[in-house]
Amino acid sequence: GSEWSNRKMDKSKARGITYLGKFGRDKVTLSLGALPNHKLVRVSFDLLLMQSWDGSSKTYGESRWNLDVVDGPNLIQTTFGNCGFFSDNNVQNFPDNRPFGAYPAWTGAIEQECLGTIQSWGGANRTFDCSSIYHLVLTFPHSGSNVKLCFQGFKPDKTWGLRNVQVEALSKFAAYSPKEFASLWEKLADDDPMVAFKAKWDLIAGGPSTVAFLADKIPVPVVRNTITDPRDALRLHRTQAVLQVINTPD
């Protein structure tokens, strides 16, 4: 409908999946009004990535993707890779925000090599389906009657689409016990980056109580270059992302 700035539709070559797109170097906005009284907005969607996304490659150039709340916080600023079949182009930032995180392509994807986007680098054994699907659920503080989300790609030849988009207005912040907060704090530095990703968004849903909890964990300004443990550096990065989303006014 008219809530979308671009209503172009396409269908995948494999399995005939219909989606909003395909887009490349585009900004696509979703504008919703007349929201009921609420404390949080939860947006969930499938992100479809097609063609040879190069992740955080310094050789081939970053393949970036962003999601922002217009006049509000940045929710995702990351890179994705669709070339997990190569050993020399197989690193992405997601599920962390760039420039942090160095994970294999397709980390966190619910499906890969699934949409029929065939690309060849010469010969049958170097011909692949360069595609993937990610299901994302992001919850952020918001109280205004209108919300506008901006989905953005940065390269014309790294295409993407959306489907199953759902936006919910939630009336209460998440309420966590001290034990639950302690568990989320530990998960924020989990070896599984998707466990940490979920913990980040669960903490954001706590709103003001999360800010108070984190104030006890990081009571003074931290100088990043004094942190030598990579796990601690990632937890600090994720903690700062939590606070950035909570503290940016809508």
Give per-residue pLDDT as tens, 70-85: 999 999 999 999 999 9
Contact, 48 vs 163, CB < 8 A? Answer: yes
* Whether residue 250 has pLDDT greater than 90: no
Q: Which residue has the tokens 């907060």?
A: 181
Q: Which residues pair with 76 in a beta bridge?
A: 67
Tens of pLDDT along 124-159? 888 999 999 999 999 999 999 999 999 999 999 999
Percent of the chain scored above 70 by pLDDT? 96
The per-residue pLDDT for 227 is 66
pLDDT (0 to 100) of residue 225: 55
Helix axes 193-204, 178-187, angle to 10 degrees: 140
pLDDT score of 176: 98
Q: Tell me how far apart the alpha carbons of residues 194 and 181 are, in angstroms, rounded to a whole number.
A: 18
Find out whether the peptide bond into 22 is cis, omega within 30 degrees of 0.
Answer: yes
Predicted pLDDT at 88: 83
Q: Which of 35, 53, 48 is nearest to 165 (CA)?
A: 48
pLDDT 10s digits, 181-234: 999 999 999 999 999 999 999 999 999 999 999 998 875 555 555 666 777 888
For the chain, give the mean pLDDT. Answer: 94
Overall pTM > 0.75:
yes
